[in-house]
């Protein structure tokens, strides 16, 4: 596909001589690129071109230089572009900087650069940016399209050999018509909302694009916030040559469901969220260990009051219609339960998802929300023989934890495959003292174990029915990815310094009010005229460290990861595309 150009003819006739002179300078500058130069000579040439406003030759020299020279040279060009009012061009230049530290520093300097600080030729920047922002914005090269606008007067341009040429006449509207056709073709072939069996998302490239967008005062695209529609992470792929760490997995179009969750239009399963990933990256960077989670804990005072009441009511048969009042008495004595978090920002969406999933599991466990055929409530499974007494009041403890089959690693450590469901439920019976203290036993009776096993086995069916469980699994998947990157030093291999995602001032994640309490959930069942009371505690405990150590990973015995790694690569680090199929 050929790039199309539109030239601004007769925009500012007063500056024809200036533009012609600039064109001649370009011709001279292009000729200078032919000879071999030292790194310092190349840098000086780039500085000279940038100072003269000749950004084309400067960019050619910069792109052909070694990485260290290249990044600093691009930063120099960007500062010069900004000083002439070409802020959009400046941001696009900085988008080619691979080192996040250099890019972040230059962005700060660009933001503080007054227009006209370095003088130079005519300032066509504002006019060009106005056109690019209003006429088919996605079709221009500044937005990764194929069209470009160059500030030449009288419809002239400089060809590849540095010769001043007159733009051939075209039929009216020819350029724009072709641009529209090109843009439409690009949208059809690169539609992020199209379902994909294996979509690839480069985290360094995504960070770079977000950093540039925010610096330019532009809103983030929706696909950035949902990681291009990824539903799960199947592969983690590393490319040192292009500076990429790629997450790959199935993806689809997305929508908001009735609960305001972002879910797949295909199966209603929640989409991975950028905010969650960034929260987990920051959490791991600040923490000394990998584990984090939440708990819902009844207070000792509340449990003591509830136990005293239940013991007093032992042997008293409930009359018809009294069960509701009886439960309210118990619930009122227990009071609200405390929400506790460890190792994660309690204001984050990650914390909210964990707490919601934990509380909902307890509703299913004691029969206040319907489970599935394969995972009925705990109370519904209790069986008592005639005359048999219900068990003494204790506290059932259920909690979510990680459950992956394996991580498969390539021989050279540049490709990893994640296998397994991701989540399971564990159980324990806790004794309850008269003072309301919960005593850990480290054991669970057969019925308690059965409930946890059923929930784990039927987890996917439960997640289909209640998407909050799939949201929780997404958190587990992203936590595993972060731990995998940390334990195997993947950012360093890819020369990714995570400058923006780790900086809360550079990239702010959504926060909510900190949840401190949850309403107590309690239920009962009458069996042989005997009251069976369900009181539950538990939480979410995530520790993925045991899966990511190289000596614990499985080797790629089938030799498939190498082929997947090669097929998923991008040819150039300078490409602006951050996702692909």
Question: Do residues 225 and 207 touch, judged by C-beta distance below 8 A?
Answer: no
Q: Tell me: pLDDT of 436 over 70.
A: no
Q: What is the pLDDT of residues 489-519, one digit of tens each?
A: 999 999 999 999 999 999 999 998 898 888 8
Q: What is the pLDDT of residues 397-425, one digit of tens each?
A: 899 999 999 999 999 999 999 999 999 99
> For residue 548, which of 447, 424, 418 has the smallest C-alpha distance?
418
Per-residue pLDDT, 392 = 54
> For residue 279, which of 230, 202, 349 has the smallest C-alpha distance?
349
Per-residue pLDDT, 467 = 96
Between β-strands 337-342 and 517-518, what pairing exists: parallel, antiparallel or unpaired?
antiparallel
**Residue for token digits 């199929």?**
581
Band the pLDDT of 237: cuts 50, 70, 90: very high
pTM over 0.75: yes
Q: Tell me: pLDDT of 3 over 60.
A: no
Long-range contacts, stretch 162-167, CB < 8 angstroms, 24+ apart: 162/26, 162/27, 162/28, 162/29, 162/30, 162/31, 163/27, 164/20, 164/23, 164/24, 164/27, 167/5, 167/7, 167/9
Per-residue pLDDT, 391 = 59
The average pLDDT across 79-90 equals: 87
Per-residue pLDDT, 209 = 95
**Residue for token digits 């009511």?**
313
Quick one: which H or E segment has residue 27?
A: helix 16-32
> For residue 548, which of 494, 468, 482 has the smallest C-alpha distance?
482
Between CA 238 and CA 245 the distance in angstroms is 5
Alpha-carbon Rg for the chain, nearest whole angstrom, is 31
Per-residue pLDDT, 474 = 98
Q: What is the pLDDT of residues 16-33, one digit of tens each?
A: 433 433 443 433 344 444
**Mean per-residue pLDDT of the chain:** 81
Lowest pLDDT segment from 172-186, 246-260, 403-417, 428-442: 172-186
Q: What is the pLDDT of residues 137-192, one digit of tens each?
A: 666 655 556 565 554 433 333 344 443 444 454 444 444 444 434 444 443 447 99
Q: What is the pLDDT of residues 21-69, one digit of tens each?
A: 344 343 334 444 444 568 888 889 999 988 888 888 889 999 988 877 8
Burial label for 16, CB within 10 Å (0-12, 13-18, 19+), is middle
Between β-strands 522-527 and 517-518, what pairing exists: parallel, antiparallel or unpaired?
unpaired
> For residue 98, which of 242, 211, 246 has the smallest C-alpha distance?
242
Distances (CA, A) of 35 to 32, 41, 61, 543: 6, 11, 11, 57
């Amino acid at each position: 596909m050929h790039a199309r150009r539109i030239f601004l003819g007769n925009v500012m006739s007063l500056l024809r001589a200036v533009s012609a002179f600039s064109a001649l300078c370009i011709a001279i500058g292009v000729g200078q690129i032919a000879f071999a130069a030292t790194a310092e000579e190349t840098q000086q040439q780039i500085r000279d071109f940038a100072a003269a406003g000749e950004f084309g030759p400067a960019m050619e020299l910069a792109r052909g230089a070694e990485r260290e020279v290249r990044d600093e040279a691009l930063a120099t060009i960007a500062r010069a572009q900004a000083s002439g009012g070409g802020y959009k061009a400046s941001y696009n230049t900085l988008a080619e900087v691979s080192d996040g530290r250099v890019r972040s520093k230059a962005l700060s300097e660009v933001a503080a650069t007054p227009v006209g600080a370095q003088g130079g030729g005519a300032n066509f920047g504002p006019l060009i940016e106005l056109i690019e922002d209003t006429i088919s914005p996605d079709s221009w090269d500044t937005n990764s399209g194929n069209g470009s606008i160059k500030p030449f007067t009288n419809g002239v341009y400089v060809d590849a050999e540095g010769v001043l040429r007159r733009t051939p006449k075209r039929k009216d509207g020819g350029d724009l018509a072709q641009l529209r056709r090109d843009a439409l073709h690009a949208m059809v072939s690169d539609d992020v909302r199209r379902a994909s069996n294996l979509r690839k998302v480069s985290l360094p490239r995504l960070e770079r694009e977000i950093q540039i967008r925010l610096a330019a005062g532009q809103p983030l695209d929706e696909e950035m916030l949902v990681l291009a529609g990824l539903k799960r992470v199947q592969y983690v792929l590393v490319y040192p040559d292009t500076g990429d760490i790629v997450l790959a997995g199935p993806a689809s179009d997305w929508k908001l469901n009735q609960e305001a969750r972002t879910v797949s239009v295909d199966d209603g399963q929640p989409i991975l969220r950028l905010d969650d990933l960034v929260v987990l990256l920051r959490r791991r960077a600040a923490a000394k260990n990998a584990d984090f989670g939440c708990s819902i804990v009844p207070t000792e005072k509340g449990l003591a009051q509830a136990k005293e009441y239940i013991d007093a009511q032992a042997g008293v048969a409930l009359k018809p219609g009294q069960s509701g009042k009886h439960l309210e008495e118990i619930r009122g004595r227990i009071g609200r339960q405390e929400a506790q978090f460890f190792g994660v920002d309690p204001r984050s969406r990650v914390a909210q998802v964990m707490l919601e999933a934990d509380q909902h599991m307890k509703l299913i466990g004691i029969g206040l929300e319907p489970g599935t055929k394969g995972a009925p409530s705990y109370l519904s499974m209790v069986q008592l023989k005639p005359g048999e007494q219900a068990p003494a009041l204790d506290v059932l403890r259920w909690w979510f934890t990680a459950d992956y089959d394996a991580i498969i690693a390539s021989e050279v450590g540049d490709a990893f495959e994640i296998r397994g469901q991701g989540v399971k439920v564990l159980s324990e019976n806790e004794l309850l003292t008269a003072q309301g203290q919960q005593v850990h036993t480290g054991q669970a009776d057969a019925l308690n174990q059965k409930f946890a096993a059923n929930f784990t086995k039927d987890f996917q069916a439960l997640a289909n029915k209640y998407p909050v469980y799939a949201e929780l699994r997404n958190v587990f998947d992203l936590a595993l990815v972060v731990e995998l990157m940390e334990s195997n030093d993947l950012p360093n291999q890819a020369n990714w310094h995570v400058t923006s995602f780790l900086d809360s001032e550079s990239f702010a994640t959504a926060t909510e009010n900190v949840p401190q309490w949850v309403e107590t959930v309690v239920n009962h069942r009458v069996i042989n005229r005997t009251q069976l009371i369900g009181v539950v505690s538990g939480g979410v405990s995530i520790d993925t460290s045991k899966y990511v150590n190289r000596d614990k990973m499985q080797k790629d015995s089938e030799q498939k990861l190498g082929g997947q790694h090669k097929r998923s690569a991008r040819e150039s680090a300078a490409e602006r595309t951050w996702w692909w199929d």
